[in-house]
Amino acid sequence: MDAKQLSDGLATRFPGKILGVDPLDGTLGRIRFDPAVATDLFRSLRDDYQFTHLTLVGATDWIDHREVFYVLWSDTDRLYLVLSANLPTDAPVIASSVPIWPSANAHEREAWDLVGVKFEGHPDLRRIFMPEGYAYHPLLRSFKIHEPEDLEVKVRSD
């Protein structure tokens, strides 16, 4: 399988929802997709293209939008594939990939905790590195480095 085959196959399945394929070193390529088809695209990649393993989910704040990216691994073809979707800053919401790849669980919690991307359908979307009650998503660009005394944190007592 090469990138052309894959992108053509996906483009016929999801017309107008595959926004582009960029070459990316060490992988099959980077597919930019419309977040509206996330769940169907994930299922199709797992069942029809044998991307059975999700290596990581991450997110970045690009100020005017936020990007979510997924790194997939195919055991049959021994290839990586990168997916990426742009989300609007005012509503950074995308469907969760946990029902398709359970290994996404902790990664999506991390992306929610640090970059504030909401994954709809995640079974347990809690903070993972910061305590419950922490008021910020600290890897957002709008988070300024404080004098630590300005930080408002509630510490629960057991």
Partner 1 sequence: MSGQAPEVPRPAVRPQTDASPAGDLPLAVIGQPGVPFVEIETLRAREFIPAAKEALSSLLKEQAQGKLIRPVFNWAGRNSLFPLHWGLACCAIEFAAAFGARWDAERFGVVPRSSPRQCDLLIVNGTVTWKVAHKLIALYEQMPEPKWAIAMGNCATGGGPFRTAYSVVPGVDKLIPVDVYIAGCPPRPENMLDGILRLEQLIKERGE
Only segment of 22-30, 53-61, 88-96, 146-154 that touches partner 1 (CB under 8 A) = 146-154
Contacts with partner 1: how many residues (CB under 8 A)?
A: 18
Pick one of 62, 129, 141, 142: the residue that binds partner 1 (CB under 8 A): 129
Report, in Å, the least distance between residue 55 CB and partner 1.
25
For position 130 contacting partner 1 by CB under 8 A, the verdict is yes
For position 151 contacting partner 1 by CB under 8 A, the verdict is yes
3-class secondary structure per residue, the chain: CCHHHHHHHHHHHCCCCEEEEECCCCCCCEEEECHHHHHHHHHHHHHCCCCCEEEEEEEEECCCEEEEEEEEEECCCCEEEEEEEEEECCCCEEECCCCCCCCHHHHHHHHHHHHCCEEECCCCCCCCCCCCCCCCCCCCCCCCCCCHHHCCCCCCCC
For position 60 contacting partner 1 by CB under 8 A, the verdict is no
Report, in Å, the least distance between residue 139 CB and partner 1.
8
